Amino acid sequence: MATLIKNGTLITASDTFQSDILIEGEIIVQIGKDLTHPSADVIDATGKLIMPGGIDPHVHLDLPMFDTVSSDDHYTGHKAAAFGGTTTAMDFVVLEHEGFKYSVDLWMEKAAKAAIDYSFHMNLTQFSDKIAKEIPSLMEMGIQTLKVFTAYNGRLRIDDGSIFKALRIAKENGMLMMAHCENGDVIETLVQQALADGHTDPEWHALTRPSWGAVEATLRMAAMAEQADSPVYIVHMNAGGEVDMLRYARERGVKVMGETCPQYLFFTEDALSREDGSKWICSPPMRTEMDNARLWQGLHDGTLQTIGTDHCPFFFDGTQPIVYEGKEIAIAGKELGKYNFTKIPNGLPGIQDRMPILWTYGVQTGHITPNQFVAYMSTNPAKIFGLYPRKGALVPGADADIVIWDPEKRVKHGIAQSHQRTDYNLYEGWELAGYPEKVFLRGKLIVDGDKWLGKSGDGQFLKRGIGEIL
């Protein structure tokens, strides 16, 4: 089966040019002008943009949290991703006491319903001599990334000495450390004080997680990475000072990379003071307009490397069902913390919104170029996480993960357009200019306008090799 996409404008991380694309089976086999094929299905892409499928390096699907679970699983979240132009998503495995293989096998079972291609990162939330010896086994499973936390004391955090040891093991095995950077000690102190003083409203989630903790922890992680001579990737950078620390470290040759998320570009902590403020509860929290601006500057000048979503949705009101694919469903959500901000599940929907929102409010506003858009959305994560050029590229031999983008399409975005399985959208009513028209996963058309042609099980697990340091 062959497909020939004619007369489109290809946008890559480095170039923009007119070309045709020939797909045979799951692979791009030829790129050039005036291509022909005796039996291919021909798609006329005149006036359309052609990009590699998006890669979201940071999602949390079917994740247990507090007394509930994130509302998107590996089918619904992937379906939503596809409608937004994303064809690969990377989830995080929860490390169980039984070890790495047991934990990965559990996540493989969850992901059997995957609708797009996927890979895993491993949360390193325990550390011992036994775990240290087992870390290299992750590479054999195709997982080249470990995530550590400098917050969530007593739950997810390991001490700095253990982080440093893990960094050295990662260095020896060609692995990459990812880091959630906040100051857990400060947070625990401020939370206890807030509750003792009777402060239980959502805005106290941000007030007890000050941005200086993120700034300090980012520099601390960069310093440990330099001392271990091992790369580190800072996830969900939310504070302008983090970008300053990233730049400071990179200018001195430290192998540190940074990711931000759309919510940190568009919203501030003021959203938490709204009547529906719990919708915006995520960790780390949104900051200020000054932080928004510094993050945009970090994208504009290339200090940052990727834009993930940290997609981890919960219902705003899980007592009321919604209809998803014709069936009613209700999952306990943010109402669990109605009287105590520490019990509000931390996380936001965003896997479908990322590319359309960033195209309109990033590219169209001049914050980033179309080529930077492709780099941040697809090519850079493919390179960093050992998938390039199979993914993130429009070249012969690459998987035919392709988005045909209609730059003229106007959409009033919100819950009505969303396939994320939750009851709200952060971008309700936002006017968008440009939206995916067709989305291919390894040559198969899975989204055609508003039609879903994909299915549970379409996705493949991607075993990753050693990535690049950008």
Domain identity same for 43 and 68: no
The per-residue pLDDT for range 270-317, each reduced to its tens digit, is 999 999 999 999 999 999 999 999 999 999 999 999 999 999 999 999
Q: pTM of the predicted model, to two decimals?
A: 0.97
Read off the tokens for 243. Answer: 């970008």
Question: What pLDDT, in 10s, does the model give residues 140-190?
Answer: 999 999 999 999 999 999 999 999 999 999 999 999 999 999 999 999 999
* Residue 388 burial (CB count, 10 A): 22
The whole domain housing 371 covers 53-384
Per-residue model confidence (pLDDT) at position 7: 97
420 within some domain: no
E strand or H helix at 165, and its extent? Answer: helix 160-172
How many structural domains compose the chain?
2
Q: How far is CA 30 from the centre of its chain?
A: 30
Query: Residue 139's pLDDT is what?
Result: 96
Query: Per residue in 118-142, pLDDT tens?
Result: 999 999 999 999 999 999 999 999 9
Residues 347 and 397 placed together within one structural domain of the fold: no
Same domain for 345 and 308: yes
The model's confidence at residue 233, banded by pLDDT at 50, 70 and 90, is very high
Positive/negative CA dihedral, 340, 346, 352, 354: positive
Give the model confidence (pLDDT) of 352-388 as tens digits.
999 999 999 999 999 999 999 999 999 999 999 999 9
pLDDT tens-digit map of 21-49 = 999 999 999 999 999 999 999 999 999 99
Give yes or no: residues 95 and 185 share one domain: yes
Strand, coil or helix: 83: helix
Are the C-beta atoms of residues 306 and 55 closer than 8 Å to each other? no
Are 194 and 330 in the same domain?
yes
Q: Could you say which of 345, 368, 384 is where a domain stops?
A: 384
As a whole number, mean pLDDT of residues 422-440 equals 98
Tell me, yes or no, whether 208 and 128 share the same domain.
yes
Amino acid at 89: A
pLDDT at residue 75 in the model:
98
pLDDT band, residue 452 (cuts 50/70/90)? very high
Residue 241, SS3?
helix
Q: Is the pLDDT of residue 96 over 90?
A: yes
25 Rama sector, left if φ>0, alpha if ψ -120 to 50, beta otherwise? left
Q: pLDDT exceeding 70 applies to what percent of the chain?
A: 100
The one-character DSSP state at 186 is: H
What percentage of the chain's residues is helix, strand, coil (to nearest 5)?
30, 25, 45
Strand partners, 327: 324
Q: How confident is the model at residue 254 (pLDDT cuts 50, 70, 90)?
A: very high
* Cβ partners under 8 Å of residue 243, min gap 6: 237, 258, 294, 295, 297, 298, 303, 304
Q: How many residues are given for the chain?
A: 470
Helices 289-300 and 240-251 sit at what angle, rounded to 10 degrees?
30
Q: What torsion do the CA atoms of 263, 268, 273, 275 make, to the nearest 10 degrees?
A: -40
431: pLDDT strictly greater than 90: yes
pLDDT exceeds 90 at position 332:
yes
- The answer, yes or no, to whether residue 1 has pLDDT greater than 90, is no
Mean pLDDT over all residues of the chain? Answer: 97
Which burial class, exposed, middle or buried, applies to 38 when counting CB atoms under 10 A from its CB (0-12, 13-18, 19+)? exposed
How far apart, in whole angstroms, are the C-alpha atoms of residue 174 and residue 165? 14
Q: Is 421 within a domain?
A: no
What pLDDT is recorded for position 66? 92
Would residue 134 count as lying in a domain?
yes
Q: Are residues 59 and 162 in the same domain?
A: yes
Residues 88 and 222 in one domain: yes
CATH number, residue 440? 2.30.40.10
Integer Cα distance of 35 and 42 in angstroms? 11
Structure tokens given for 425: 């959208």
Q: Within 13 Å, how many C-alpha atoms sit on residue 300's CB side? A: 14
Residue 204 region by backbone torsions, left for phi larger than 0, else alpha for psi between -120 and 50, else beta: alpha
**How far apart (Å, rounded) are the C-alpha atoms in residues 419 and 439?**
15
Would you say residue 258 has pLDDT above 90? yes
- CA 229 from chain centre, in angstroms, equals 26
In this structure, the answer to whether residues 280 and 400 fall within a common structural domain is no
CATH number at residue 237: 3.20.20.140
Q: Are residues 121 and 256 in the same domain?
A: yes
Considering the domain architecture, whether residues 26 and 116 belong to the same structural domain is answered as no
The model's confidence at residue 111, banded by pLDDT at 50, 70 and 90, is very high
Question: What DSSP designation does 393 have?
Answer: -
> Same domain for 189 and 164?
yes
Q: How much is the pLDDT for 309?
A: 98
Question: What is the rounded end-to-end Cα distance, in angstroms, of the chain?
Answer: 37
